Every structure is written in structure tokens, then in C-alpha cells.
A and B are shown apart, each in its own frame.
Chain A
Amino acid sequence: MNKIADLIVKLKWPIIVVVVALTIFFGLQLKNIHINSDVISSLPDNDPIAKLYKDIGEKYGGNDMGMIVLETDDIFKTEVFEHIKQITDSLKVTKGILTVSSLTDIIDIKTSEFGLEIGKLVDEYDLPDTQAELDSLKQYIYSKDMYKGSIISEDGTATLIMFTMLDEADKQAVAAIVKNKVEQMNLPEKVYYGGLPMMMNDVSDLIMADIIWLLPVVFLLIALILYLSFRSKRGVIFPLLTALIAVVWTLGLMQISGYELTMISNNIPIILLAVGSAYSIHVLNRINQTYDKDRKQALIKALAYIFIPVVLAAVTTAIGFVSFVFGAYLTMIRDFGIFTSIGTVFALLLSLFFIPAVISAFSMYKKNTDEKQHDNEEQSNFISKNILKPLVNLLFKHPKYTLTAWSLLILLSIGGMFLIKTSVNMQEYFKKDNPTRVSEDIMQKKFGGSQPVFVVFKGDVQSPEFLNIMIKTEDYMEESPNISTTQSVADLVEEMNNAMGEGKHIPDTKEKIEQLWFLLDGQDIMPQLVTYELDEAIIQSKFVSTDTKAMEEFIDYMNKFIDENSTENCQIQLTGMPSVYVRMNESLLSSQASSLIIAILFVLIIVGLILKSFSKGVYATIPIIATIAVLFGFMGFAGISLDIATVLVASIALGIGIDYSIHVITHFNHALKETGNLNKSLEDTIMISGKAIIINVVSVAAGFLVLLFSQMVPLQNFGLLVALSMIGSGLGALTLLPVILILANRRKKITVK
């Protein structure tokens, strides 16, 4: 160990040069970093249902559809029609927009005994302006299934303006232009925006908001805590500097390796500030406390002592983050885990190499005068006097009470665990007043939801058999209470057959269908329903409920039908948001279990190896496992659901929280070896390591608590739960662990005797 420490001091200049060069290099990458606000892109490619959903969205252009909702007490007013026309006309000439359909621009086909009359539902050049006209229009619209509930709400208070974008358009930019244009019209109606491009635009804003507002807050807060703990400039500057450099490196690396900032990974800087500053705190603390006439020797001594504990702390934390890789459903969670853990390693390397190098290169040692004050400071310290001393007394007097208290708490928590709910609905991830969530709510209330359901059919689209199965599927779907309308090319074929005077059904020969295609070819709607090669077609629908149970039931209901009706000539598959949510829900529980088990095993092995004793490894993990039990209990009682972010808490808590136990055990072992006195060793441990633990708990918890102000609900809960786990594991390391050590050592003594 001394050799490494010696080397660090010797190579101080190369180290500093490398760090500065790397920071400039990675820093330059930052200006190119992309924000990826496309939630759909985070669905995993290795889940066939999610993959199919992504592919369908791309193939049929569904992902490029934007929606504007106008809401007022009554749509059937001339003024409202004028506003709809104003928006429609403005969108039509917006660059990047392909088609627009709204009440003032939608084709209406009337079928009579003579043939077809193709016209506009509303003549945009002669809007209805008398009550009689408005009334008759209203009556006509509500007489047709294709308008009711799709372009106008059943209660007549909301209407939709839908637009599709060009493939090559920058969808978010177009969304921003659309929003801007409509907002400048200053319309009296309430306006909402929906569809993936509009949502991406909102999410993008929200990602930026989190970075701009939360990062400085976390920075200042941690600076304040550091100052209060160390009362020196370098005690503030060094930890923050390492954390910041680690952030720059991590984000720079993300950019180079082609990853984008998502609504989860935008919090990497905040988390690295909270977690990463801890390692340099330890290093600094040790350097401060090590006295030697030769300052260089003191530095080397300090480094040699702190090297392993700090590496251990960082590695366990990194394992906590990286354990998501094995269970996370969304790729953005997996990426978040990987890069946070890389960032943790960066912070570790910087605290071990860069900090000592800077201190020795610039001779920034602590002044000697500090030495005299050292003991006084320690004595008068608030934490020692008011928290640690009473704690030591309590533990020695009533070890069994402490154990009983923890046992009761754990039992209670196990009860709470059964109350934990899961939440996979992305709507609930936004705050109640978030525009995306408000729009989704409106879509659900007025237009039968906005969660797409697709049924994919492969085969010869122009065969009567194929189209009849599609119609049968649509009828079956519409019997479900959660499906209000369905749309497919089969409907259009029926419509055209009716126009030919044959009645509303699928023609009985392929010949007829091929000729009807003459009327359908080139229609704007066709690429949204059928492939160019005519070998695949889809039913488009929307799912009303956001309840996972209802989704599960619907999928079972559909799968039963698919099993019975899918044939070689017409292969049927189901996908859509409900299917994806159900998969996500299943994966939440399994990923929670797998990531936690992996993290516990790894930590147990590493701690056991380092402490050279399996039983000590087990002792060290007991407080953190107890904390995790309490954490789950709290989630159950407090009604915090297991979601894409809270599912990560347990592994992270394990990774960070284990450090406290490791500190306590190593210190205790050292002291016991030196003094041979159990009580004295334990008191020393709690009095000295306890202080560092409390400072660390407070700074990490405070950092995570800042996430309470995040725009994303899962991150708010995530922040709260990690902070609670930090407090819990700190408390566990300082109460439960000492009691276990006391009891274990007493028993050992008895058996020895």
C-alpha cells in the first residue's frame, strides 16, 4: 500500500496533467451532448412485444402524429369553428407537416343509391354561421361513428386537430413551432397538446429544467454541509472539485460512446455530486488527522491507510448502480446504472490520485496551528457530545432493547411490504400539473384514452379471408369495455364496397377487393394502416383504462382470440402500450429481486474477502438488509409505488449504506487488536467513525433530497427513499451493528471460557 501511495506522490505532476487534459477533452464533448426525450426509444429491443410496438410506430408513422385539443363549453359555435380553421390553416403551411385533419378540414363521404359524394364535412370557405346550420351539422356529426369520440368528444366540449409530420422532419422542432404558433393566436378556448412529438417536446423542457434548477441547488447544499463539517475552504473545494470533474468525465464519456441524456440520466450529475464527494471527504479527513513531522510522509501514511476502505466504499456503490443492468426493463434505466457506476469509479480515482497529487504539488497541507486545536475541536464537537456519547451509553446499557426495537421495526415493515403497489403508467410519472399529464388526462376523458393498441396481421391483405378476420377481430375488440373505436383498412374496404352499392361488408372475391383498391390507392390514411407491399395490415385502437389489472385482463382476452383465429394465411399479433405496461410491470418485480440478490451476493463476497471473514461479511450486511426491509415497509405504508426509479433504491441503498458498516467493523477490529478491550474499542469506533458516518449520511441524504424538486414523480420518490435509506443504514451501522458485535463477542468470550 505504501508503494502505491509513494508512487502517487512521486507522479503528482503527470497525474495533474492527465486529469486536466482529460477534463478539457471530455468538457469539449459536453456541448454536443444530445437530449433524448423519446420515451418509446427506451423500450427494450429484446422484448418482442416492445420491439413490435416500436417497429409498428415507425412503420405506420404513428410516432409522428401530433394532436391539439381545443376545449370549451360548446364546440358548435361559429367562433370556435373559425379558431379551428385558423389553427388548421396555419399548420397546413408549416414546414415539416404532411397532413392536417380537423373539423374544418376532413373528407366526408356520403353514399347514396347512385354512388359516392365526396366532400368536406364542413366547407372551410363557408363556415356554419346560423344556429340552424350549426344544429344540423351537430346532428350529422353525431349520426356518424367515424366522427363521434374521435374528432369531437361525445359531450361536444372538445375537438381534436391531428397532424402528421414528414419522415425527415425534426419532430421536436416542428412540435415547438406548432406550440408557439398556436400560443400566439391567444385563443379563448383551452388548448392542450398530445401525441409523441408534443410529449417529447415537454419532456425535453423538463429534462433541461431539472438540470438547470436542481444541479446548482445540490451544489450549494453540499458546499454548505461540507463547510459546516470541515470549516475550511479546501474541505469544500476538493470534494466538490472531484465530484464535478467526475460529472464532466461521465457526461463526456456518454457523448463519445453515443448515449444521450434521458429523463433519468439527466440526474447523474446530481447523484454523482452527492455520492462522489464522499470519497475525497474520507481521503481529506485522513490526511488531516495524520500527523508526521515530514508532511510528505504524513500524506503517504494517510493514503496507505485510507486506500482500501475508500476503494471498498466506491466499489460497493458502483455494484449497487450496475446491478440494474441485469434487471432493468427500460434501456434508459440500464444506461443510467452503467454511467452512474462509471462516474462513481471516476470519483474514486480522482480522490485517490488527483487530490493527494494536488495537495503535494502545491503544498496545500493543513497548517500546523490546527494541531493544537485538534483535540479541543473534537471534544466540543456538537455531534460527538449530543448524539454519539448518549448513543454509546444507551448501547452498552441496553443492547437487547436495541435489538428488540429493530426486530419490531422489521416485523412491522414486513407487514408493510405486502401493501406495495407497482406503477408502470408513464402518465403517473409526470406531476399532476405537468402539461403532458394534463393532456393525457383530457385525451382519456374526452377521446377514449391515448394509449395505442395495435393488432398486426400478416398475410395477403387483399384476400377476403384476411379482411374478414380483421373485421371479426375489430368486433371482438369493441366488446371490451376499454376499447371505444377501432380502425383498419378492412373498414375502408367495407365502406368502398358499400359505395359500389354492394352493402357494408367485405366482398366475396379477391378480384373485387383488388378493384376497390383503385379507390384507396394514394389516400393519405393508407400508409397508416397497410404496408406498401400489401403483406401486412394493422388495426389501430386506443385503450381507455390506465389500470394495470384491466390491461392484463384485456391482453388475456385478446390472446384467447388470437390463439383461436391466427392461421398460416393470417398471422395475428398484439402489441401497444397496454401490452408494454404489463411486461414492464412483470419485469419490475423480477428486476427488483434479481438486482437486489446480485447486489447482496457481490457485496457479501467483497466485504467477506476484504474483512477476511465470512461471518464479519454477514454482520456488515445485516444493518443494510434491515434498512432495506424497513425501506420496503415504508413504501408500503406511505403508498409509494414500485416504479422505474424506485425499483433502483434498494440496490443503491445497499451499495452506499454498506460503507457505514464496513467503516464500523474495520475500525472496531483495529481498535480491538490494539487495546483488547471490547467496550473501549466500540466506544472509540462510534465516537470517531460515527462522526464521519453522520457527516456522510447528512451530505448524501441532503443531495438526494434535492430530487424532491425534480419534475419527475419517480425521481422525487427515488430521492426521498434513498435519503431515508441513508439515514436508516447509518443508524443501523451505529446501533444494530454494535449490538450484534457486543453480543457476538460476549458469546465468543463465554465459549472461550
Chain B
Amino acid sequence: MRLVKLSVLVSVLFVLIGFNTNAQDGNTILKKLDEVMYSPKDMTAKTKIILIDKAGKQKSREALTKQKGTDKRLFRFTAPASQAGIATLSLPNDVMYLYMPAFGKERRISSSVKSQKFAGTDFSYEDMEAKLFVNKYTAKLLKTEGNLLVVELKPKSPKSSYSKIIVKLDKVNYYPTYMEFYDKGGNKIKTATYKFEKIGKYWNAKEITMVDLKKNHKTIMQMSDVKYDTGLTDDDFTVRKLKQ
């Protein structure tokens, strides 16, 4: 009798521990990922966005970027000439301000459509959303592949346009190298490839390539002249600043 009880206890414990370890793993990894992605207090950089359509035709845009924390971001476009001076300011709660110099005024744009593309790129508002990974997804470690961890992310919100995202991260430094996005029918619809480099004490995504597999359309986002923790304040992210 005692033997049986003991064995039940042991197996329950085992199951509990086993379960816990697994969940812990996923969560820990997400937290580490968030640390890599969002630990700088602020950042300024030059961003180049290259759009490549299926025929291989390219269009490119350049912008100066400022970011503070996870949820304030300012883009000021410098090229092409026709769109130079256009600026966007993203604030928390899906609010964005757009400034167009030719009109000399700004407009508030609020969007609740997450699948909407961000300014003609292959990034959707959902992809650009600067929310902590732990808040957006539940994670499960699938396997390790050499130096990489393969993690499956499932969106917590039913409104997400994805059913899951498979992420490959560096085992040591926890920056992502590759992501696959799946639609609700389980079809792989987008992939993102990341190139990271260390600048000071932070890891920087110097190039992200997002491919829309359906449209065979590609967006490459490159970052240069990156500076961290220069002491940006909330004042740098106001509508007044947007217009300057």
C-alpha cells in the first residue's frame, strides 16, 4: 500500500516538476528576449527601408529614428525627396501622429486594424507593436538546433492575425535570428531574418528582412549610426517636436 502511494506521489511530483520546467523555459526565454529587444532606455539611428516586389523592382526610403522605452517612436523621413520631411510619431494605445510638410500640419491616426501594413512595408502594425513579448505570447521550447533555441509563440489575443510564430534564438545571447509567421489556417505566410550586432552593451538588429510569402514581396530594414541612452525625454516625443 505504502509503496503504491509513494509511487503515485513521485509520479505526480515528476509531472508537476516536468510541467513547470517546460513552462518556465518558455517564459524565461521570452523574458530574455525582451531584455535583448527592449533594454536600452532610448535609441537614435538612421533607418533605411528597402521594398522589393516580386519582379525585383526596388523602392527605398530613409528615415531618422528615435525611440524611448518600448512604446514611443519617431520616424522622420529623409528620402525619397518627395517624401522628405514626413514624420510619424507612435505613442502608446495604437495612436499615431502623422506630419506632412507639404500640408504644414499633423493628423492623428488611430488604427485598430492590426493586420494593416505599416507604411507600405511588409511589417504589419502587429509586427511593429512595441509590446513586451511576455505580454503578447505564451511560449514553448520546441527543441535546440546547434546554437539555436527553437521556440513556438502563441498569441494571447484572439485578434492577432497569427496562429503561431516559430522563433529561432541564439542560445547564449537570446537575440532572434529567424521567425516564421503562420496564419490561422496553419499556412506559413511570412518569414523574418535578423542580423544582430553588439553596440556597446546592447544587441542591435542591424538588418531585418521580412518576406511576405504570398505576395513574394520583401522589406529590408537596415539600421546604422545607432546611439543608445543619449538621454531622450518624453518632450522629444510630442506633436510639437514632430513638426520641427
Contacts and interface: CB of A to CB of B under 8 A. Distances in A.
Interface of A: 89, 92-95, 98, 107, 114-120, 125, 166-167, 499-502, 509, 511-512, 514-519, 521-523, 532
Contact of B116 (A107, A511, A515): A107
B105 interface: yes
Chain B CB within 10 Å — which of A95, A115, A116, A511 has the most? A115
A515 B83 contact: yes
Contacts of B103: 500-502, 512, 515
A118 B57 CA distance: 29
Contact of B121 (A92, A115, A522): A522
Given A93-B183, A95-B187, A532-B57, A118 B109 contact: yes
Contacts of A500: 100, 103, 105, 107
B101 interface: yes
B172 interface: no
Nearest first, the 8 A-B pairs at minimum CB distance are: A93-B185, A522-B120, A521-B120, A115-B107, A115-B108, A514-B82, A118-B111, A511-B102
Contacts of B102: 509, 511-512, 514-515
Contacts of B117: 522-523
Interface in B180-222: 183-187, 214-215
A120 B116 CA distance: 10
Given A125-B159, A499-B107, A501-B105, A120 B112 contact: yes
**Interface of chain A, main secondary structure:** mixed
Given A118-B116, A120-B113, A501-B107, A514 B183 contact: no
Contacts of A502: 103
B107 A515 contact: no
B182 to A, nearest CB: 10
Interface of B: 51, 53-55, 57, 77, 82-83, 86, 97-98, 100-103, 105, 107-113, 116-117, 119-121, 158-159, 183-187, 214-215
Contacts of B51: 522
A517 B59 CA distance: 13
Residue of A93, A120, A517 most packed against chain B (CB within 10 A): A93
Contacts of A517: 82-83
B112 A118 contact: yes
Given A125-B158, A515-B82, A522-B119, A92 B183 contact: yes
Nearest to A90: B185
Contact of B101 (A114, A115, A515, A519): A515
Contacts of B101: 515
21 contacts: A92-B185, A93-B187, A98-B215, A114-B107, A115-B109, A116-B109, A117-B111, A118-B110, A118-B113, A119-B111, A166-B214, A500-B107, A501-B103, A501-B107, A511-B102, A512-B103, A514-B83, A517-B82, A518-B119, A521-B120, A522-B120
A75 B102 CA distance: 44
Nearest to A519: B98
A120 B125 CA distance: 14
A516 B103 CA distance: 10
Nearest to A94: B185
Contacts of B113: 107, 118-120
Nearest to B108: A115
A578 B157 CA distance: 49
